A and B are shown apart, each in its own frame.
Chain A
C-alpha cells in the first residue's frame, strides 16, 4: 500500500522495497541497523512534498538520508517507515560568484561543491573528515564541523537560507536577508526532526592567498595540549589545530606513510591560511610556542602535495584504525580548550579502568575530542566495556563544563544522555519548536530527545 502509493507518485524506479535494497539503507556509521519499509529517491522538492503527504496519510515516519556517514544513527529509521535518500538530488543549482554563494541540492557531496566552485576562486569551508562522501544535506542536519571550523565556523555559519518541506507536505523557504526569526539557524543541526531540506543557499569563501601547514611533535599529550592553549592564549587562532596521540600517529603512519615521526607520543597538525605578508611572523610565533611547550620536532610542509598528504592522513585516521582492531567506536565530546589535559587524562583513565585501547585524534583548537575506542564486537566483555567507557567519557566532558556532542549530533546514540546537559525546562523549549514544525512527530522520530520526552512527561 505504502510502496504502491509512493510508486504512483514518484514512478516505480524511485521506490525500493526489495529486502536487499532495504538492507543497504538500514545502516549508517552507527553500530545498530534497522531496516525501513520503503526507500524513496525523490528528484525534486515537489517529489519530497508528495512523499511527506503520503507518509502522513499512511502514518509512517520519514528519515531523510544523505550519504549515511553519520555516527549516531541519525540517518536510519527507528522502526520501519520511509527512508528518503537524496542520491538523485545532488546538483549545484546556481553559483553567484560575485556575492560568493551557491544554491545546492541536499545530496551534493561536500567536497564536490568546493571542486565545482574552485575555478571561481571560491571554496566551501566546512570540511568533515568524510567530505569525500558526506552530503551538504547531511551536514546541515547535524551542523557538521571539521578541522577548519576553528576559524571558519561550523555548517550553520555557512548556510544562508533553506528551502524545506514541512510536516504537511508544503514547501517553505527561509529568508535570505535575515528578516524575522532565524529559522535557518534553528533548522540547521535539527537532525531531520523538524522538516526536510530540499535546497540550500550556502556561503562560499575566497580561496586564501597563502596556506601553510606545520607538524610539531611532543613527548606527551599534556605538552601538546599546553601548546594548544599557549597558541590561542597568544592571540593566534590558526585555521586548523589538530592533535594525534602516539597510538594514532603510528597507526596513521603505517597506513599513509606521510612522514609522521613514529616515536612521538603526541603531534599537532597546524594550518594557517591567510595573507603571505603575515605567514612568516605566524610561523615563527607558533614554532617558538611549540618549542617552549616542550616540542620535540617541527616540520613545515613545503608543497601543496605535501600539505595534501598530511591532511589525507589526518582525515583517514579513523579508517586506519581498522588495522589495529576489528571494530572501533568513535566518541565526540567537547570541553573548554583549557580543560584538554584533564579530559585526555580522564579518557586515559577510562581506557585503563575498562582494559580498552583508546586512541585520540581530534580538533584540539576547538576542545573537540574524538576518543576512538578499539574493540572486537564478538567479545561480549569488550562490548560492555566500550559502552561503559563511552558513558564515563560523556560524563567527564559534562563535568568539565563541556558537552556530549561537538559535531556528530545526538541521533539515537546519545538521546538518553541529553538530560545530562539540559534540564527539563531547557529540553521543553526545544520541544516547543518541535511542536511547531513536527507536531505529529513523523520526522525522524526517536532521535535527539530522551525516551519519554515526547510531551507529557516534561510538561507541567
Chain B
C-alpha cells in the first residue's frame, strides 16, 4: 500500500472491530497504539497504513469494589484507573512506567512485568477476563467477572503480552486488592564490597520488601547517591506494625552486610517508587538504549555486572537497575553524542547477546535500532507462536513484525 498513514481513534469497541475488519479486507496494515509509553519494546509494525489508537476507549465499565473486581476499557490510563480504585482503598500492582500516559490495555498487551510481582503476583495473574477485537472484526469475550474460573480455555492469557499481534484488547476485567495501609522507602549507599551480602539479605528477609533495587547511575531519574558499590532502594508496604518490624529487620540485616544507617522516606514513598519504575524507560535523547534481562534472582547481580562490564569495554556509559526480588537486570547504555553511540551500539548488542541471550531492548529511539536483536534469542516453541499468529491474524494485519521472531 502507498499513501499517508491514517490515525484513527474509535469511540466504541464495535467501531474499533469494524475498522480492523475493513483494514483486514483491504490489505491495510494496522499498528495499535495506547499511551505510547512502551513503544521501545519490540520493533515498530512494518509498513503501517493505519494507526488505531485505543485512547478513546477510556471508561471504567464497572468497579465492583465489594467483589474486589473491576472492568476497564483498554485505553484508560493507569493513573485514572488507580485513582478510581483508590477511592475504595484498592489497587492493582500494574507498576508500569509513566502511569499518567500509560494505558491499562497497553501495559497488559506489552506483557509488562512490574517490580512488586514477587509479592503481589504477576500482572497477568490479575486478569480474570477480557474482550478482544480480532483482525477479522470479531469481538470475543474471554473469562468473566469472577475471581476463579476454569470454564474453557483462559484466552486472556494469550492476549496479555501478545503486543497486539493476535487482536486488540478493548476491555479487561481485573481482580483488585485492598491497598496496603502504609508504605516506607529506604535509600542506602552501598560501600565497597557490601553489595553481594546486602542483596542476599534482601532476598532472604522474612518481612519481604515490596520492591528492592540495586541501582548504579540513574541519579537524575531516581535520586539518591551512589557509593562505591552503587546504592539500594527498598520499598516496604503493609500495616504500620509490619513496617516498624520490617524497618528494624532491614537495618539489622543490612548492618550485617556492612551497609550504614539508611535514609528513610515515609511521605512520598510511593512517588519515589514510581520514579524508579519510570527510569526503566527513561532515554537520553537519541543516544541511549535500555536492555532488560529477565532471569533468576540468584543471578541478577552477575548479569548486571556482565552488562555493565560490556558497556565499559565499548566505552559506553551504563546506568543500571537490578530488581533484586524478581531477577530483572535493566541496563541503559548511552554515549556522549549520538554519532559515537550509533557507531558502537550494534557491536555492543552482538556482544551482549553472546553473554545474555534473552536481553531485550525496552527503551531507546535512535537510527539503526531495527538492526539490533531487540527481542534477544527467540523463545522456545516459537513455531507454535507463529502458528497461533497465523490462525488469529492470517493476513498479518495486526502489528506485523512487532513481536518476537518477527511475528
Please give the residue numbers on chain A whose beta carbons come within 8 Å of chain B beta carbons, in ascending order: 96, 98-99, 142-143, 145, 149, 153-154, 156-157, 166, 172-175, 177-183, 185-186, 188-190, 206, 209, 229, 232-233, 235-237, 275, 277-278, 281, 334-338, 363, 366-368, 401-410, 414, 418, 421-423, 425-430, 432-433, 435-437, 448
Q: List residues of B (265-298) whose CB comes within 8 Å of A's CBs.
A: 294-298
A-B CB proximity, top 9 nearest: A185-B157, A235-B178, A180-B379, A406-B148, A179-B379, A175-B379, A334-B146, A177-B294, A430-B153
Knowing A277-B239, A278-B241 touch, does A156 contact B151 (C-beta < 8 A)? no
Cβ A401 vs Cβ B295 within 8 A: no
* B134 and chain A: residue at smallest CB distance: A429
Cβ A410 vs Cβ B89 within 8 A: no
Cβ B245 vs Cβ A275 within 8 A: yes
The count of A-to-B residue pairs whose CB atoms sit within 8 angstroms is 223
CA distance A89 to B148 in the complex (A): 29
Interface: B238 (CB within 8 A): yes
Interface: B111 (CB within 8 A): yes
Interface: B388 (CB within 8 A): yes
User: Which chain A positions have C-beta within 8 A of B11?
Assistant: none
Please give the residue numbers on chain B whose beta carbons come within 8 Å of chain A beta carbons, in ascending order: 64-69, 89-90, 111, 113, 121-122, 124-125, 132, 134, 138-142, 144-155, 157-158, 160-162, 166, 177-179, 203, 206-208, 238-239, 241-242, 244-245, 294-298, 327, 358, 360, 375-376, 378-382, 384-385, 387-388, 391-392, 403-405
Cβ A281 vs Cβ B388 within 8 A: no
Cβ A181 vs Cβ B146 within 8 A: no
| Chain B: minimal CB distance from A157 (Å) | 5
A-B pairs with beta carbons under 8 Å apart, 25 shown: A149-B148, A153-B121, A154-B150, A172-B384, A174-B380, A174-B381, A185-B160, A189-B154, A229-B66, A235-B89, A275-B207, A278-B239, A278-B242, A367-B148, A401-B145, A402-B144, A403-B144, A403-B146, A405-B149, A408-B150, A422-B152, A430-B152, A436-B384, A436-B391, A448-B153
User: Which chain A positions have C-beta within 8 A of B360?
Assistant: 179
Partner of B157, one of A156, A336, A406, A432: A156
For chain B, what secondary structure do more than half of its interface residues adopt (helix, strand, loop), or is it mixed? loop
Cβ A182 vs Cβ B157 within 8 A: yes
Question: Could you list 6 further interchain pairs (A-B, Cβ under 8 angstroms) beyond the known A277-B242, A334-B149?
Answer: A175-B380, A180-B385, A182-B124, A406-B148, A426-B142, A437-B384
Cβ B206 vs Cβ A209 within 8 A: yes
Cβ B376 vs Cβ A368 within 8 A: no
Partner of B139, one of A185, A368, A425: A425
Partner of B381, one of A145, A153, A175: A175
Cβ B64 vs Cβ A236 within 8 A: no
Most chain A CB within a 10 A radius of its CB, from B132, B166, B207, B296: B296
Knowing A182-B161, A233-B66 touch, does A407 contact B150 (C-beta < 8 A)? yes
| Chain A: minimal CB distance from B70 (Å) | 12
CA distance A281 to B391 in the complex (A): 53
Cβ A177 vs Cβ B388 within 8 A: no
CA distance A403 to B142 in the complex (A): 12
Knowing A178-B111, A180-B381, A405-B149 touch, does A436 contact B241 (C-beta < 8 A)? no
| Chain B: minimal CB distance from A51 (Å) | 20
User: Which chain B positions have C-beta within 8 A of A157?
Assistant: 121-122, 125
Cβ B146 vs Cβ A429 within 8 A: no
